[in-house]
Chain A
Amino acid sequence: MAGFLARRLINYVALIVVATSLAYMLAASALDPRSNYEARRPPPPPAVVDARLDELNLNNKTPVFQRYLRWSWSVLHGDFGKTTVGDPVNADLARRAGVTLRLILVGLIVGSVAGVLGGALAAVWQYGWFDRLTTAASFLVLAVPTVVLANMLIIGAVWFNDLVGAQIFLVSGETTPGLEGGFLRGAADRAQHLLLPTLSLSLGLIAVYSRYQRNMMLDVLGADFVRTARAKGLRRSTALTKHALRTALIPAVTYFAFTFGALIVGTTFTEKIFGWHGLGEQLINSIFTNDVNTVAAISCLAAFGVLVAALASDLMQAALDPRVRVG
């Protein structure tokens, strides 16, 4: 098992290197930081611009590969370089990473738990009202783009707030600036802010997961071992949770790694729409500001995140499935 994990790990590191390098190359050749200077009134003299760009390792007159070598050398030393305005990328991203991580983690947990439960229940009550409802709802959610969904949520929330005459849902930012009160008040405020973004992020996940889990569960519901479990005297509900659901979880865990990527894409929109200052928002901003280094750094973090998720799903699978463990 240890050897197996070590090999996996090496593989993942190699994948991160390749993904990040490609992202850097792409960003370095597609984005044009020079135009930031040319747009200034009056434009600075070309020599000054060149000097400045050279200093930031953003000069498109230097061959891409040479810039890449300099960039990767500093990345190896833990430095993602500077933004177009000369601030260190590291400091900015460190702050933002926390914001995104909170959003993704909560979204992931809510999404997968609710999805798995919803799917399992839908399978148990196949063709019942709950099954029909979740089926219809998930197709609706999957058909509507995240952007539209998030905005619909905001409109709904504002309407609801007006209706009850209180600010139940807070639709912008992470916290209310300048909030007075103790810890509890703060926590409640954060929760209120978290509610809608989490919902918009996890709805898609719930939809996908519940469909998937429903099918997995249907496969095992009629399985012989569930019948055996009941034949030895387990109640239907016990047999379903302890034997059927437990076994049907294994494929869901494998699925985990795949959904994580979708979740990262989802956060870029969610952050932008709900005004959370996280990595996703910054990615969009930095593309607009031709900020090659930030784009590359965020891509690197995203690749890292996906692979951590993959590793986690491997580990969870090994924990859940004895057939994998022996291998």
Chain B
Amino acid sequence: MSDPTHPGAPVLEVADLSVTFGSGPSAVRAVRGLNYEVRPGEVLGIVGESGSGKSVASMAVMGLLPPHARVSGSVKLLGTELLGASDKRLAAFRGRTISMVFQDPLSALTPVYRVGDQIAEALTVHQDLTRAEARKRAVELLDLVGIPHPAERATAFPHEFSGGMRQRAVIAMAIANDPDVIICDEPTTALDVTIQAQVLDVLRKAQRETGAAIVMITHDLGVVAGFVDRVLVMYAGRPVEIGSVDEVYYHPLMPYTMGLLGSVPRLDQGERGRLTPIDGNPPSPAALPPGCPFEPRCRLAVPECRLAEPPLRPVRHSRHLAACIRAGEIERGVVTTVPKLPEIPEEGEERPPRESRRVVLGVEDLVKHYPLTRGAVFKRRVGTVEAVAGVSFDLREGETLGLVGESGCGKTTTLMEILKLARPQGGRVVVLGRDISGLVAADRMSVRRDMQVVFQDPMSSLDPRMTVYDILAEPLRAHRVREPGPRVRDLLRLVGLEPEHAARYPQDFSGGQRQRIGIARALALEPRLVVLDEPVSALDVSIQAGVINLLEELKARLGLSYLFVAHDLSVVRHIADRVAVMYLGRIAEVGQVDRVYDTPMHPYTQALLSAVPLPDPVVERARRRILLEGDLPSPADPPSGCRFRTRCPLYKAIGETERLRCVHEEPRVRPMGGDHGAACHYAESLDVV
């Protein structure tokens, strides 16, 4: 297998890698025979959902698994076997020849040491440097990964760095000794999308500087598309498909890969098609089905699939391999996985125009400030965080409004203020025609009944000691429904669960099913408005698609209105009719979803949309990305005038006199034609997706 694009001997060869936790019948085989190799300068993406074994495998390669994990197979780094080597020998490789960037930058640095010293430590372990030399080099590295004022920032402690900056510091550490291989384990998953774009950019730069091979582990098909040369798809601890990124994305040969690609909502596709979820749930690694592990969920399964696990075999040519007995037929186009999609019930007749529909939720100049305090024992107020600083929008009957923005933009605070049903600090909230500041207890009860909420984490919002029946019956009883039994069964059927499962406890269900229970609970009292707080962000894509479809179906069937708070712009495009983009406590842009996504007017929306990676390698490589500089300013000290001006690319492009207006005058949302408005003095449209 020679690679025309990346000649040279492989730097990292992984062969038949297996990892088992525990022993006996309860043993969990997290990784079951992983093979791959990367050559100098090559980027390999390893894609899989949670539980596929992708992260465990990378820890095994680094030799960082806890001692009770049993690892077998072979990991060769520059021809040297790493498995079974002593900690001392491995330590000599780690950080020098092979280094790693981890998922959660917030906890990846030791809190008690200065950032510069931690990078210097990575140097001094492997090189004979004096303290001063190592410090100097650490500052250079911080500069390389784009930390402003590196000499100064090197003396800061990790808690003084934002998440994006910490990830840069971790990358600086990883490239400190000019390694041959860098393993990146979900390096941007914990970051906001504009910061993700920055960090990916830094990684590209780091790769250019070091010429290292990169193994990029992620669940995000978009991140992989534009970043890697080859992709390896993992399922149930095994590679199921491997090939060049274009081949795998455009001509997948394994039904699982096809399902995965079909279930991602896409930022660049406006038509309201249904997503194609993969049925069922990933198998538990402790109880794999016989034969092909994907068989219970596979739409193309035939009886032979049950007989033996299909090996990973070359299909199209020697460099595109798939583990499926029907891969040949798929290749020739004899069979496809295009499924029969459940019909979306038509939304009645033609919907009346927006203006004539009733406003179910009206928010006007909503304000929420928090005091900012210092000190553990003696708290003193040192400032005010303007979490929400004058937000207005309305949500009309039968529509979905997506409220999007990065962390710290105030979307969650806005939602909490609405749910509180108490007089806001400033502004007005009107739910179903009633101003919430004037509610007495009895009114509040009836408004609660009409406005329900679904939270992000299905596990923590369901009481583990209650059966599903009790969870669903509770709101009914609270509102004096005598016989909740039949209604509970209806609700379970409504959200696609078996009514017989009512006697089970939440922990007996998978993440997606739990979220369905959460939705059923919200629907128990037949509300008219449902507030959804990141309802699918904790779910894997293949499961997420099913929940999104369910939400759309329920909305059409029951005539619901949704306020959908999310950070995932692709999901919002898919589900929302209108979208409001928030930045630092204010609305930057609002309007009909296709207008905002296709012709974003506000420079922030433009940058945000351009930062979202698309699961389409060719498009992704050709895309122009607007990189925002720096981090979100502190909401305790927002910039004067336009809050976005410190990072605004347009602000940099305009003349001195125009800038004055941005500095001194706060832009209000101004109509941009049709149902579309942007809060920018100089808004113009730009094609970014």
Contact = CB atoms under 8 A, between A and B. Distances in A.
Contact of A322 (B95, B104, B111): B111
B469 interface: no
Given A233-B95, A233-B125, A235-B88, A224 B104 contact: yes
A321 B99 CA distance: 28
A231 B112 CA distance: 18
A229 B62 CA distance: 12
Contacts of A132: none
A235 B91 contact: yes
A258 to B, nearest CB: 15
B102 A228 contact: yes
Interface stretch (A46-54, A89-97, A242-250): A242-250
A231 B62 contact: yes
Contacts of B176: 232
B110 A233 contact: no
Interface in A226-244: 226-236, 243
Contact of A224 (B102, B112, B157): B102
Given A232-B125, A232-B173, A322-B159, A225 B111 contact: yes
Contact of B111 (A222, A323, A327): A323
A320 B112 CA distance: 7
Interface string A291-325: 00000000000000000000000000000111110
Interface in B86-109: 87-88, 91-96, 99-100, 102, 104, 107-109
A224 B170 CA distance: 12
Given A322-B157, A322-B159, A231 B94 contact: yes
A65 interface: no
Contact of A230 (B94, B109, B126): B94
B126 A233 contact: yes
Contacts of B377: 8
Q: Which of A225, A231, A235 has the most CB of B within 10 A?
A: A231
Interface residues of B, number: 40
Interface string B254-268: 000000000000000
Given A230-B91, A235-B88, A327 B62 contact: no
Interface string B103-128: 01001111111100000011001100
A64 B113 CA distance: 55
Interface in B52-76: 62, 64, 66
Contact of A247 (B87, B112, B173, B375): B112
Contacts of B159: 322-323
A40 interface: no
A230 B100 CA distance: 10
A223 B107 contact: yes
A223 B108 CA distance: 8
A7 interface: yes
B478 interface: no
Contacts of B170: 228
A230 B125 contact: no
Contacts of B107: 223-225
B441 interface: no
B108 A224 contact: yes
B376 A232 contact: no
A132 B118 CA distance: 35
Contact of A229 (B110, B114, B177): B110
B664 interface: no
B112 A246 contact: yes
Interface string B613-657: 000000000000000000000000000000000000000000000
Contacts of A225: 107-111
Contact of B96 (A233, A236, A326, A327): A233
A4 interface: yes
A313 B36 CA distance: 53
Nearest to B98: A231
A232 B95 contact: yes
Contacts of A246: 110, 112
A111 to B, nearest CB: 24
Contacts of B157: 322-323
A90 B460 CA distance: 61
A87 B376 CA distance: 46
Contacts of A321: 111-112
A234 B173 CA distance: 13
Contacts of A324: 376
Nearest to A243: B110
B208 interface: no
A233 B94 contact: yes
A8 B378 CA distance: 9
B108 A228 contact: yes
Contacts of B204: none
Given A225-B109, A228-B109, A235-B88, A327 B374 contact: yes
Nearest to A317: B376
Contact of A233 (B92, B109, B114): B92
Interface in B357-415: 374-378
Nearest to A227: B64
A247 B111 contact: yes
B537 to A, nearest CB: 21
A231 B96 contact: no
B55 to A, nearest CB: 12
Contacts of B113: 243
A232 B127 CA distance: 12
Nearest to B109: A225
Nearest to A233: B95
Q: Which of A225, A233, A327 has the most CB of B within 10 A?
A: A233
A246 B110 CA distance: 9
A247 B107 CA distance: 12
A233 B97 CA distance: 10
Given A227-B64, A227-B102, A322-B159, A232 B110 contact: no
Contacts of A323: 111, 157, 159
A232 B122 contact: yes
A128 to B, nearest CB: 11
Interface in B132-181: 157, 159-160, 170, 173-174, 176-177
Contacts of A236: 87, 91
A250 B93 CA distance: 32
Contacts of A243: 110, 113
Given A229-B110, A322-B112, A322-B157, A327 B376 contact: yes
Contacts of B174: 231-232
Interface string B303-320: 000000000000000000
Q: Which of B87, B104, B112 has the most CB of A within 10 A?
A: B112
Contacts of B375: 4, 327
A5 to B, nearest CB: 12
Q: Which of B91, B93, B107, B376 has the most CB of A within 10 A?
A: B91
Interface string A205-236: 00000000000000000111111111111111
Contacts of A228: 102, 108-110, 170, 173
Contacts of B92: 233
Contacts of B110: 225-226, 228-229, 243, 246-247
Contacts of B126: 233
A7 B380 CA distance: 13
A224 B101 CA distance: 11
B95 to A, nearest CB: 3
25 contacts: A8-B377, A224-B102, A225-B107, A225-B109, A227-B108, A228-B102, A230-B64, A231-B64, A231-B94, A231-B99, A232-B121, A232-B122, A232-B173, A233-B91, A233-B93, A233-B94, A233-B96, A234-B95, A236-B87, A236-B91, A246-B112, A250-B112, A321-B111, A322-B111, A322-B159
Given A4-B375, A225-B107, A232-B122, 18 more contacts: A8-B377, A224-B108, A227-B64, A227-B102, A227-B108, A228-B108, A229-B110, A231-B100, A232-B173, A232-B176, A233-B93, A233-B96, A233-B122, A235-B88, A236-B91, A247-B110, A322-B112, A327-B376
**Top 9 closest A-B pairs, CB basis?**
A233-B95, A232-B95, A232-B122, A224-B107, A233-B125, A322-B157, A225-B110, A231-B100, A233-B94
